[in-house]
Amino acid sequence: MNIKNTITLSDPYLRRAERLVEDGQFPSVEKVVEAGIDELLRADHLTPEQNDSVTRMGDEIRRRMELPKDQWIPMDNDTMFAELKERIYRKIEEEKNGL
């Protein structure tokens, strides 16, 4: 059931919503607003930690720091990419040979 309502958007939000409609991403400004509300409702089901990309990035950094030191790639700018390439090729060969 649709209920008619009137809302007021500040100029920047209205311009952004209209651009989304012009770009064909939404059929109307009303659908842009509905999508924003849907996103808020979905976000409500997540804890702030789950919804926080910075926290997830920190978790990934901590996970990688727990790897054994022999799995780390040295950050020597002169050799880093060559060593990374070598590791990738070695891994591909190991997978080909079933190791």
What pLDDT does 48 receive? 61
What pLDDT does 72 receive? 79
User: Which residue matches tokens 């054994």?
Assistant: 68
Q: Provide the H-helix boundaries in the chain.
A: 11-22, 29-44, 53-65, 80-96
What pLDDT does 28 receive? 93
What pLDDT does 43 receive? 67
What pLDDT does 46 receive? 64
Which residues of the chain carry a pLDDT beneath 70? 43-51, 74, 99
Q: Quick one: tokens of 68?
A: 């054994």
**What's the rounded Cα separation, in Å, for the pair 64 and 68?**
9
